[in-house]
Chain A
Amino acid sequence: MASVVRSIFQSIKEKGIGNFLKELKQEGYVQTKIHNIGATLVGVDKFGNKYYEKLGDTQYGRHRWVEYAQKNRYNASQVPAEWHGWLHHVTDHTGDELLLLKPKRYGLEHKENFSGEGDAYIYHSKGHTLNPGQRDWTRYQTWQPTKKE
């Protein structure tokens, strides 16, 4: 708590009280998490998740975090692949940079894990009845009756 108060004062000292209040207003007073104060917003992904970093007086290893776009139901699978590496200290490249390497032809859109919410992903093989892209095992085409010429 003390560190939060300290960082608030530091921000006020750096930016002046006016700018500090303006920033708070931009983010919305209610939504602003206290510990985001003083951290840099590194990027926002396409779902609206915000990625913060705060170097300096934060404990190393806890200096990057995400603020989920959905406040009521959130889970780690909402972080798309390109941001995962940055968030977990695998790489220093941010998600926006890594997005450039995403293959255009076959790169899939990120989908969060809906397990336990009635929309769990279950793998069905190609011929399975529940597979939406179920393969047609008919190996011939039938003659289509047309009207009498």
Chain B
Amino acid sequence: MGLGLLASRALRSSRIIRNSTRTIVSTPELKNADAAAAAAAADAPSDLPKRNPVGGARVHLPNPEDVIEVFVDGYPVKIPKGMTVLQACEIAGVDIPRFCYHSRLSIAGNCRMCLVEVEKSPKPVASCAMPALPGMKIKTDTPIAKKAREGVMEFLLMNHPLDCPICDQGGECDLQDQSMAFGSDRGRFTEMKRSVVDKNLGPLVKTVMTRCIQCTRCVRFASEVAGVEDLGMLGRGSGEEIGTYVEKLMTSELSGNVIDICPVGALTSKPFAFKARNWELKGTESIDVTDAVGSNIRIDSRGPEVMRVVPRLNEDINEEWISDKTRFFYDGLKRQRLNDPMIRGADGRFQAVSWRDALAIVAEVMHQIKPEEIVGVAGKLSDAESMMALKDLLNKMGSNNIFCEGNGMRPNADLRSGYIMNTSISGLEKADAFLLVGTQPRVEAAMVNARIRKTVKATNAKVGYVGPATDFNYDHEHLGTDPQTLVEIAKGSHPFSSALKNAKNPVIIVGAGVFDRDDKDAVFAAVDTIAKNNNVVRPDWNGLNVLLLNAAQAAALDLGLVPESDKCIESAKFVYLMGADDVNLDKLPDDAFVVYQGHHGDRGVYRANVILPASAFTEKEGIYENTEGCAQITLPAVPTVGDARDDWKIVRALSEVAGVGLPYDSLGAIRSRIKTVAPNLLEVDERQPATFSTSLRPEVSQKVSATPFTPTVENFYMTDAITRASKIMAQCSALLKK
């Protein structure tokens, strides 16, 4: 058990996860929702009915001098200076219709749907582009405002095809919804509607450009957030259209988000096209496990099928975007599934058997083998509960050789700050200098990369990169390819060290690929020296980060999945692979008995003697800790396939058959066990910072080698068993691989 965890257990009283609602707020002072609402309600005139802010929005007034008061439909609202009229209306509880305005993109003001009346203004004003001024009297429900919106709606519908019945956006379309409120039941336009040629944006985004209303949200998203300047507004007047001009695919790892921000059905999901209607779908709020970011997602399912994945808002982690891998891997959940326990016969063929037989054989073999020759490997998609159960089972059998793939054979689990992202993902926005060591965030963690890009765009932060040549979507300086560069920066002889020194909030991000290096301790020592010399770790700022690769890594280290000997695979006679496909088994002796427990017939099964089918993350409840140390829960969205069972249940059943019964029978019980080991994993949706800094790390005498850093993720679209089984991901890697 880690030292940091012991301490955090002592310092914190843990909160048991029983609350069903999850509050997502980035500023802790806003947590008290009732007080804020009461304060807002207090100054409303008593004769007007009470109004609540749209979507539970709460306004945070950091600076009391910058507060102005405006009146929305007679209600006085206090807002900070610089807010637009539209935002003021939202706080006052009035939802202004809009198409082009998006809170995370720049303001365009070209759809004109958000027109409101402002007293003393000769014309209705576009509220999204108009800054609110002190004492402004805004009227949103007057005949003028209503007529203005009706006029705009009529113009928008003029060239919009009437194909809602065959449109995938139908039912969740902004234009459809708002035309219900402001549209006429007939059009006065008798000319021909225009038609626009559809563009080919690649295998993920389907375009029906005739439906486009030229809000330019996608253009702004592509250039501002995704950082690929491919889309543009071409032509003029009624011939205006969105396009790339030259034939070009949208080669961004965030391209799927244009589907969400498109207010009409012009950009829709190609894999989801004509598959289901959104009102048939059941949404399950879950967590993405394809990378270590733990993006918040909603899994939309129909019956036993996952139909699509859409993002959920979480300001601290993924804002409201998700990467293409997260959004489109879901068809991998339906292919290559393991649905029966299988045993490899004498002829080398697999045969489906019953659970009883499979577990009996595994238990029998396990007892015949010396305890130190038993090895357990947790896969990159394992949840904390199953890892806990597997570790307990192996410990009961007398072995302590258990580790999680990706963490390397000699992980340093003692200091929690040594393997999580101490700055936190949202904290990166405060940084003004980045040093990326052996990490390619664009392919390793697309959402973290989006944060870094956002910061670089906003503050012109300097980015230094040490590692193999790779592409970034922001300005960066390639400092070198091997760890010697780090030593130079640590000494201060490198030109980039002055940039770090002058930075107020410097950030160092070390890639998890470093864990597998032989000179890992020396690299971390060099990074620690850089941190010490440049004031990276201070009481008010911790800029020393490790960017993990897999969803299971952080929880595995928290739970102490550290092998006793780093040569355990070479001497193993019994290997328990719990969804581990990427662990290197070349050195495994040929007579070793391999049990593969997992949900996909991927790399791991080919060496297995026994296959135990498990459920995928969309089919079970499990705790995952992301790279910044925030524990989150997945929820079952669909039933599991065939005879598969939850990972921890299989391990628990095996322990019973093996005669070393584990002392828990339910998720609740297993979580109380986790609480004794890593209580921070039960603080769901709450980031738990590490207590001790890495300065406590012991001195190392190792020297860094001259071997250059290697790319850790070869193919962004195919990193684990699920994504490797996905057809869409295979298509993407064929067409878009960089």
CB distance from B721 to the nearest CB of A (A): 10
B506 at the interface (CB under 8 A from A): no
Residue among B333, B348, B601 making CB contact with A143, cutoff 8 Å? B601
B337 at the interface (CB under 8 A from A): yes
How far is it, in angstroms, between the C-alpha of A83 and the C-alpha of B377 when the chains are bound? 74
Q: Are A143 and B337 in contact (CB under 8 A)?
A: yes
Q: Contact flags (1/0) for A133-149 with B, using CB distance below 8 Å?
A: 00000011111110111
How far is it, in angstroms, between the C-alpha of A56 and the C-alpha of B35 when the chains are bound? 101
Q: Are A148 and B344 in contact (CB under 8 A)?
A: yes
Q: Are A140 and B342 in contact (CB under 8 A)?
A: no
How far is it, in angstroms, between the C-alpha of A13 and the C-alpha of B333 when the chains are bound? 84
How far is it, in angstroms, between the C-alpha of A140 and the C-alpha of B642 when the chains are bound? 10
Query: Which residue of chain A lies nearest to B347 when distances are taken between CB atoms in the complex?
Result: A147
Residue among A139, A141, A148 making CB contact with B336, cutoff 8 Å? A141
CB distance from B380 to the nearest CB of A (A): 19
Give residues of chain B (303-318) contacting chain A, Cβ–Cβ below 8 Å. Answer: 303-305
Given contacts A148-B344, A148-B348, A148-B606, contact A143 B600 (CB under 8 A): yes
**B residues whose Cβ falls under 8 Å from a Cβ of A:** 303-305, 333-340, 342, 344, 348-350, 600-601, 605-606, 641-642
Q: Are B336 and A147 in contact (CB under 8 A)?
A: no
B344 CB contacts on chain A under 8 angstroms? 148
How far is it, in angstroms, between the C-alpha of A145 and the C-alpha of B337 when the chains are bound? 11
How far is it, in angstroms, between the C-alpha of A109 and the C-alpha of B379 when the chains are bound? 57
Q: Are A145 and B350 in contact (CB under 8 A)?
A: yes
Told that A140-B304, A148-B349 touch, could you supply 8 new A-B pairs with CB distance under 8 A?
A139-B304, A140-B333, A141-B334, A142-B336, A142-B338, A143-B336, A145-B601, A148-B348
How far is it, in angstroms, between the C-alpha of A149 and the C-alpha of B348 when the chains are bound? 9
Q: Are A142 and B337 in contact (CB under 8 A)?
A: yes
Given contacts A145-B342, A145-B349, A148-B348, contact A139 B606 (CB under 8 A): no
CB distance from A86 to the nearest CB of B (A): 40
B605 CB contacts on chain A under 8 angstroms? 143, 145
B303 CB contacts on chain A under 8 angstroms? 139
How far is it, in angstroms, between the C-alpha of A134 and the C-alpha of B602 when the chains are bound? 31
Given contacts A145-B349, A145-B350, A147-B349, contact A140 B335 (CB under 8 A): yes
A144 CB contacts on chain B under 8 angstroms? 601
CB distance from A127 to the nearest CB of B (A): 12
How far is it, in angstroms, between the C-alpha of A139 and the C-alpha of B335 when the chains are bound? 9
How far is it, in angstroms, between the C-alpha of A58 and the C-alpha of B402 when the chains are bound? 99
Q: Contact flags (1/0) for A46-64 with B, using CB distance below 8 Å?
A: 0000000000000000000
Q: Are B334 and A140 in contact (CB under 8 A)?
A: yes
Q: Contact flags (1/0) for A115-147 with B, using CB distance below 8 Å?
A: 000000000000000000000000111111101
Across the A-B interface, give the 8 residue pairs with the lowest CB-CB distance, nearest first.
Answer: A143-B601, A145-B350, A148-B348, A140-B334, A143-B336, A139-B305, A140-B337, A141-B335
Given contacts A147-B348, A147-B349, contact A142 B642 (CB under 8 A): yes
Question: What are 12 A-to-B residue pairs whose CB atoms are below 8 Å?
Answer: A139-B303, A139-B304, A140-B304, A141-B335, A142-B338, A142-B340, A143-B336, A143-B337, A143-B601, A144-B601, A145-B350, A147-B348
B337 CB contacts on chain A under 8 angstroms? 140-143
Instruction: Say whether chain A's binding surface is mostly helix, strand, loop, or mixed.
Output: loop
How far is it, in angstroms, between the C-alpha of A144 and the C-alpha of B600 when the chains are bound? 11
B348 CB contacts on chain A under 8 angstroms? 147-148
Query: Which residue of chain A lies nearest to B340 when distances are taken between CB atoms in the complex?
Result: A142
A149 CB contacts on chain B under 8 angstroms? 606
CB distance from A111 to the nearest CB of B (A): 33
Query: Which residue of chain A lies nearest to B641 when distances are taken between CB atoms in the complex?
Result: A140
Instruction: Indicate the member of A140, A143, A144, A147 with the most B CB atoms within 10 Å.
Output: A143
CB distance from A5 to the nearest CB of B (A): 68
How far is it, in angstroms, between the C-alpha of A145 and the C-alpha of B340 when the chains are bound? 11
Residue among B304, B339, B606 making CB contact with A142, cutoff 8 Å? B339
CB distance from A28 to the nearest CB of B (A): 59
Instruction: Indicate the member of A140, A141, A147, A149 with the most B CB atoms within 10 Å.
Output: A140
Q: Are A139 and B334 in contact (CB under 8 A)?
A: yes
A148 CB contacts on chain B under 8 angstroms? 344, 348-349, 606
Query: Which residue of chain A lies nearest to B344 when distances are taken between CB atoms in the complex?
Result: A148
B600 CB contacts on chain A under 8 angstroms? 143
How far is it, in angstroms, between the C-alpha of A86 and the C-alpha of B537 when the chains are bound? 95
Q: Are B338 and A143 in contact (CB under 8 A)?
A: yes
CB distance from A140 to the nearest CB of B (A): 4
B334 CB contacts on chain A under 8 angstroms? 139-141
How far is it, in angstroms, between the C-alpha of A144 and the C-alpha of B339 when the chains are bound? 10
How far is it, in angstroms, between the C-alpha of A140 and the C-alpha of B613 when the chains are bound? 14
How far is it, in angstroms, between the C-alpha of A145 and the C-alpha of B333 when the chains are bound? 18
A145 CB contacts on chain B under 8 angstroms? 342, 349-350, 601, 605
B335 CB contacts on chain A under 8 angstroms? 140-141
Query: Which residue of chain A lies nearest to B605 when distances are taken between CB atoms in the complex?
Result: A143
Query: Which residue of chain A lies nearest to B351 when distances are taken between CB atoms in the complex?
Result: A145
Q: Contact flags (1/0) for A70-81 with B, using CB distance below 8 Å?
A: 000000000000
How far is it, in angstroms, between the C-alpha of A145 and the C-alpha of B339 when the chains are bound? 12
How far is it, in angstroms, between the C-alpha of A139 and the C-alpha of B340 when the chains are bound? 16
CB distance from B612 to the nearest CB of A (A): 13
How far is it, in angstroms, between the C-alpha of A38 and the C-alpha of B703 when the chains are bound? 114
CB distance from A123 to the nearest CB of B (A): 24
Query: Which residue of chain B lies nearest to A148 when distances are taken between CB atoms in the complex?
Result: B348
B601 CB contacts on chain A under 8 angstroms? 142-145
Query: Which residue of chain B lies nearest to A141 when distances are taken between CB atoms in the complex?
Result: B335
A140 CB contacts on chain B under 8 angstroms? 304, 333-335, 337, 339, 641
How far is it, in angstroms, between the C-alpha of A2 and the C-alpha of B389 when the chains are bound? 102
CB distance from A144 to the nearest CB of B (A): 8
Query: Which residue of chain A lies nearest to B335 when distances are taken between CB atoms in the complex?
Result: A141
CB distance from A83 to the nearest CB of B (A): 39
How far is it, in angstroms, between the C-alpha of A75 and the C-alpha of B605 when the chains are bound? 62
How far is it, in angstroms, between the C-alpha of A143 and the C-alpha of B339 when the chains are bound? 8
CB distance from A149 to the nearest CB of B (A): 6
Query: Which residue of chain A lies nearest to B348 when distances are taken between CB atoms in the complex?
Result: A148
CB distance from B598 to the nearest CB of A (A): 10
CB distance from A143 to the nearest CB of B (A): 3
B304 CB contacts on chain A under 8 angstroms? 139-140
How far is it, in angstroms, between the C-alpha of A143 and the C-alpha of B644 when the chains are bound? 13
How far is it, in angstroms, between the C-alpha of A144 and the C-alpha of B611 when the chains are bound? 12
CB distance from B518 to the nearest CB of A (A): 30
Query: Which residue of chain A lies nearest to B302 when distances are taken between CB atoms in the complex?
Result: A139
How far is it, in angstroms, between the C-alpha of A42 and the C-alpha of B730 when the chains are bound? 62
Query: Which residue of chain B lies nearest to A145 when distances are taken between CB atoms in the complex?
Result: B350
CB distance from B346 to the nearest CB of A (A): 11
CB distance from B389 to the nearest CB of A (A): 24
Query: Which residue of chain B lies nearest to A140 when distances are taken between CB atoms in the complex?
Result: B334
Query: Which residue of chain A lies nearest to B334 when distances are taken between CB atoms in the complex?
Result: A140
How far is it, in angstroms, between the C-alpha of A139 and the C-alpha of B640 when the chains are bound? 11
How far is it, in angstroms, between the C-alpha of A147 and the C-alpha of B347 when the chains are bound? 9
CB distance from B131 to the nearest CB of A (A): 52
How far is it, in angstroms, between the C-alpha of A140 and the C-alpha of B213 when the chains are bound? 38
B340 CB contacts on chain A under 8 angstroms? 142
CB distance from B420 to the nearest CB of A (A): 35
How far is it, in angstroms, between the C-alpha of A79 and the C-alpha of B333 when the chains are bound? 52
B305 CB contacts on chain A under 8 angstroms? 139
How far is it, in angstroms, between the C-alpha of A140 and the C-alpha of B336 when the chains are bound? 8
CB distance from A90 to the nearest CB of B (A): 35
B342 CB contacts on chain A under 8 angstroms? 145
How far is it, in angstroms, between the C-alpha of A147 and the C-alpha of B349 when the chains are bound? 5
